[in-house]
Amino acid sequence: MQNKVKITVVKQFQPKDIFGYDYTLVSGKTVTKCSLKEGKEFISDGTGNMPEGFCPHAWNSIFKNVHLLTWGGGYSETIGEGISFGVCPDGLRPVIFKLEKFD
């Protein structure tokens, strides 16, 4: 049985959190936090498709854990049954996600 997975934005970081100072691109633009807001929730409907409004880069990095939960897997011995965490790999402004399966 395929489960749905709730994806919650747990924490956003900005360059200052990572490096201790603001980061400016070669273009002169200062890098800010990702547009995904803390507390925002998305639902993966069990089809393997990215939820509407979700970032494709973040989706590519968390998809394997979403897929695992969709098909009933998980990390019951460490994190807990039906729960996982993932991170967007943007090294300048990473985002942490909590993933929770539900029927």
Residue 41: is its pLDDT beyond 90? yes
Scan for tokens 């039906």, then name that residue: 82
For 76, the domain range is: 4-102
Task: Give yes or no for a contact between 7 and 55, defined as CB atoms under 8 angstroms apart.
Answer: no
Model confidence at 79, in pLDDT bands (50, 70, 90)? Answer: confident
The pLDDT of residue 1 is 63
pTM of the complete model:
0.90
CA distance 20 to 100: 32
3 state SS of 24 = strand
Number of domains the chain contains: 1
Residue 76: is its pLDDT beyond 90? no
Model confidence at 78, in pLDDT bands (50, 70, 90)? Answer: confident
CA distance 41 to 8: 4
Q: Which amino acid is at 81?
A: E
